Structure 1
Amino acid sequence: MTGQMLLWKGLGSWRAEVSARYVGAHRGFVGDLTVDAAGCVLTYPDLAQRVSP
């Protein structure tokens, strides 16, 4: 799980962002989201420091 990228294909950027915020909130992440040009790839920059076993 450490350093894992959250990846959505075939979703609009809005749905992907909402999904990532939901997943992040319920896993205790606080990092900002990063969205690529296509709006379908989101990552938590500080995921490695925040993930719990």
Structure 2
Amino acid sequence: MPTFINEETYTRLLIDLREAARAGDWESALAEVLGGVNVLPEACRGDFVG
């Protein structure tokens, strides 16, 4: 099941992704943008599950 986000969040995500694409450190910028909408790689699960 997909996760739906409101238009304001979606617009902010697009703006942030555009800025990340221009960044020199693409991986860090993308991780920061996705973290802002609570999308994280599986490798980060241990940081949140006790």
Instruction: Choose 1 or 2 for highest CA Rg.
Output: 2
Does TM-score exceed 0.5, indicating one fold? no
Which one has more relative contact order, counting CA pairs under 8 Å at least 6 apart?
A: 1
Q: TM-score category by the smaller chain?
A: 0.3 to 0.5
TM-score (norm 1): 0.37
Q: Which has the higher strand share?
A: 1
